[in-house]
Amino acid sequence: MARRLSLDEAVDLYLDHLKVERGLARHTIEAYGRDLVRLVGFVTERGRGEVDDVTPADITDYLIDLARTGLAARSRARALVAIRGMFRHLIGERWLEADPTALIDAPKIAKRIPSVLGEDAVAKLIATPPDTPRGRRDIAMIELAYASGLRVSELVTLAAADLVLSQGFVRVTGKGQKTRLIPVGASARERLARYLADDRPALVKDPAQRAMFLTERGRPMTRQGFWKALRTYARKAGVRLPGGEVSPHKLRHSFATHLVEHGADLRAVQAMLGHADIATTEIYTHVSRARVLEQARKHPRAAK
């Protein structure tokens, strides 16, 4: 008789697969591990010790139990992703014949409509940094982030050679090592050209340094450094958001929303943002509609 696999062994097997073969980040693996250990505890109390003991009813009851504890739908959906991934892996490794999660739907998650900066607020933000080497570097970063919708990780790791000002675009390598070309508008090009000509040369300590945006020590700007600078300028400019403080990701949201509001094709916005699925980009159509409704409510007879 073939050996049966215990649930504890199954979790270890799957987490090793995520680490060694798929190369997922440590914090992601730890989150999956917590979700799976919690499941094992739940089904073990029901007398299920091996993977082929687990039934669809066990998984359904587990998700219901998570809801009873007040766990948000998004967290429950993540738990199901971890559980489904493990059972599918076990089938691939021939420890199981049937997937107990196959017919279970993920908890429905309400779409979050991101808060965005208005165009006037973006202009105030860009006008805030002082006319100093550091200030001009920061203006160039803010302008580029807003002009191109770069993720903050893409912005701070951008190589100077990837900015092609003569042709008006930036070359970006994003998630999954996929490269995309993004047009850069005239205002951002002007700020970047000045930073490149007047300020970056003085910041370069190592001739082999490839990073576009550098600190006073000649090192690449960090995500935290840019986020901190942006937050400081937003406070000085009096720019606030209902959903929290201004962040690099809010600039990305604002870039996409303003494009949609000005009639940009959704496929073009998808390409510039580097979204694999257009469904991710479609949130910006909802943002735009929400802003239209917000403005409509300001009509003098809207409340009558």
108 labelled catalytic: no
The verdict on whether 299 is a catalytic residue reads no
Out of 34, 74, 175, 205, the active site residue is: 175
Instruction: Check 151, 200, 299, 301 and give the catalytic one.
Output: 151
Q: Average pLDDT for consecutive 10-residue bins of the chain (304 residues)?
A: 81 93 87 94 92 93 91 87 94 92 77 79 95 96 94 94 92 84 92 96 94 96 95 94 83 90 86 84 71 54 49
- Respond yes or no: is residue 210 known to be catalytic: no
Out of 200, 250, 252, 253, the active site residue is 252
Fold adopted by 7-92: DNA polymerase; domain 1 (1.10.150)
User: Exactly one of 62, 146, 233, 284 is catalytic; which is it?
Assistant: 284
What ranges do the domains of the chain cover? 7-92, 119-296
Q: Among residues 235, 249, 267, 289, which one is catalytic?
A: 249
- Tell me whether domains 7-92 and 119-296 share a fold: no
Residue 193 CB-density burial (10 A; 0-12 exposed, 13-18 middle, 19+ buried): middle
pLDDT of residue 113: 63
Instruction: Tell me, yes or no, if 291 is annotated catalytic.
Output: no
- Is 275 known to be catalytic? yes
Predicted pLDDT at 243 = 64
Q: Which of 38, 48, 275, 291 is catalytic?
A: 275
pLDDT at 299: 42
Active site residue 289: no
CATH of domain 119-296: 1.10.443.10
Residue 158 has a pLDDT of 95
